[in-house]
Amino acid sequence: MTQLIAPHGTDALKPLFVNSDAERAELLKEAANLPSKLISSAAAGNAVMLGAGYFTPLSGFMTKADALSVGASMQTTSGLFWPTPVLNLVKDASGINIGDRIALLDPNVDGTPVLAVQTVESIDVFSDEEITSLTQQVYGTTDSEHPGVAELEAQGKTAIAGPIQVLNYSYFETDFPDTFRTAGDIRASIAEHGWNRVVAFQTRNPMHRAHEELCHMAMERLNADGLVIHMLLGKLKPGDIPAPVRDAAIRKMIELYFPANSAMVTGYGFDMLYAGPREALLHAVFRQNMGATHFIIGRDHAGVGDYYEPFEAQEIFDKIPENALKIELFKADHTAYSKKLEKVVMMSEAPDHSKEDFVLLSGTAVREMLSEGKAPPVEFSRPEVAKILMDHYQS
């Protein structure tokens, strides 16, 4: 029988989605008469992750004190390991008082329906210095050109903290019915497959040959029973490939190049933070919550531009308390196709190679090829995957 890994910081998953139809209907009726607040896309993503159990054991949005503690020491004031603040930041909370129940409106769905109901436990304003310090700790920079920093700066400085009851999964369930899954759904699928050692792979991009082989390598070396490809379905920076296209490309690769029942394609509803090392830790937390025992972290995980060192997202795991997480890492180097060996290898494991011995293409070069209707070399991208991406770029 499958013995699943325990969720983070507790024995049982703690999804905040209201499962009972009757209770949800009651809450919606109540919400119609409550003060309402249109929240940011980032706060909506936090609500979806809380609802889906990925942010177990949190019970809602953090207080300013918890957020500052997480920034400074990666733990809440109660001592729970947590790498990034989970906030409902607004520009103005006038008309909202401590003890109120408020309806949180979804900025990402037409008509801004009620996403969740929050009980207000505290309302705190961050000073400019506190926001700057928190930004530096989480993102490693305060540069407004960094997409995560820009997003944080746009949200406001007032934190509305307190527990939430989540009424739906925003647009993720309707736009991605085959892919969006809660942490509980994935746990149930893992148990159904009878998998005990489960590798998770994070992606916000389509998967090329190097990613595909990296997953095969991890499964082989860890003697894993199954692979969960877990893709981000929320907002990205401009120019990134939209989720439906990524989804189609990844599914085609799994269908053709992985044994039956060895891998599942799933997704989660959250916007990318681009917080590099801190986001890598957050990714590990919610992969443990969804039942993965191992997590692949490669070069520049969750990075953007040149803000982080290539392996900073792996090194941060060596700096956290030993018992902070139960999930284990599979640390990967840059992978590429070796012309000498005629297969994809980790570059660090091919010491007799020079750069010229590998098939290496920049993202820009690949995008140009696809836009011109040229398939990248088969050593770089599977032809069936390249076709889906070419059709997207040319449309």
pLDDT for 243:
87
pLDDT for 216:
97
Rounded distance, CA 103 to CA 217, Å?
47
pLDDT for 248:
94
Query: Residue 268: which H helix or E strand, with range?
Result: strand 263-268
Fill in the amino acid letter for 198.
V
pLDDT for 155:
97
Residues annotated catalytic, as ranges = 204-205
Q: What share of the chain is helix, strand, coil (3-state, %, to 5)?
A: 35, 20, 45
Start-end of CATH 3.40.50.620 domains in the chain:
178-394
Residue-wise DSSP of 189-218? HHHHHT-SSEEEEEESS---HHHHHHHHHH
User: Which single residue is written with the structure tokens 């993503």?
Assistant: 45
Rounded distance, CA 55 to CA 14, Å?
8
The answer to whether 362 and 340 are in contact (CB under 8 A) is no
Q: Going residue by residue through the chain (395 aa), what tens digit of pLDDT does each one get?
A: 678 999 999 999 999 999 999 999 999 999 999 999 999 999 999 999 999 999 999 999 999 999 999 999 999 999 999 999 999 999 999 999 999 999 999 999 999 999 999 999 999 999 999 999 999 999 999 999 999 999 999 999 999 999 999 999 999 999 999 999 999 999 999 999 999 999 999 998 889 999 999 999 999 999 999 999 999 999 887 778 888 899 999 999 999 999 999 999 999 999 999 999 999 999 999 999 999 999 999 989 999 999 999 999 999 999 999 999 999 999 999 898 899 999 999 988 999 999 999 998 887 888 888 889 999 999 999 999 999 999 998 88
Rounded distance, CA 98 to CA 54, Å?
27
Q: What is the pTM for the complete model shown?
A: 0.96
The answer to whether 237 and 274 are in contact (CB under 8 A) is yes
For residue 278, CA distances in Å to 92, 182, 285, 315 come to 28, 22, 11, 11
In the structure encoding, which two tokens stand for residue 8, read together? Answer: 């983070």
pLDDT for 237:
76
pLDDT for 174:
95
Q: What is the largest CA-CA distance in the chain?
A: 70
pLDDT for 217:
97
pLDDT for 285:
98
> What is the CATH T-level fold of the domain 21-173, as seen in this structure?
Sulfate adenylyltransferase (3.10.400)
> What is the CATH T-level fold of the domain 178-394, as seen in this structure?
Rossmann fold (3.40.50)
Q: What are the pLDDT digits (tens) for 342-376?
A: 999 998 899 999 999 999 888 788 888 888 999 99
Fill in the amino acid letter for 287.
R
Start-end of CATH 3.10.400.10 domains in the chain:
21-173
